[in-house]
Amino acid sequence: MTMEEIKASIRCVPDFPKKGILFRDLTTLFKNAEAMKEVEEALVKKYAGRGITKVVGIESRGFVMAAILANRIGAGFVPIRKKGKLPAETREVTYEKEYGTDIIQIHQDALDTSDVVLIHDDLLATGGTMEAAIRLVKTFGVKKIYVNFLVSLDDLNGRDFLDSEVEVESLMHF
């Protein structure tokens, strides 16, 4: 299965979550075992050997591939979640997103200065959530940060709002 075939398998839902939005639904990719395997292999090929010690997944669809990738490259998995979902002491960041304001949190003991981190999310739209995640991870003083998306919606220019010092890659572009 090629990346173009995988890209074609992603469902487009018009007017969700509000009128005028064309929502890219990656659940149609996730339910296809062959597509999942191809995406997994592409991510492993891209990030194995980079010294990554932690893969951070953003709630909730970012958890899917982040945990798989962490396992495959021998790194730990760390979740970034919405406020109030983590049970221990946290750090948090408030940010603006396309539909309002939100807060994300990470456990206080999740990362340290020796970590090389890959932050993963399923889709880059306007960049607000990932920009906040990068700020949050930077509070730990980690050695290096990589960022990965399965899909980038290039016409929304979300990449423009992400830290220029961070290497950002997407497997597929719309």
Residues 6+ apart with CB under 8 A from 113: 140, 141, 142, 143
Q: From the candidates 59, 72, 98, 159, which is the catalytic residue? A: 98
Peptide bond into 79 cis (omega under 30): no
Q: From the candidates 24, 61, 81, 91, which is the catalytic residue? A: 61
| CA dihedral sign, ordered 168, 63, 96, 7 | positive
Q: How far is CA 56 from the centre of its chain?
A: 8
Nearest to 47 by CA among 132, 148, 121: 148
96 is catalytic: no
61 is catalytic: yes
> Are 151 and 130 within 8 A, CB to CB?
no
Residues annotated as part of the active site: 61, 98
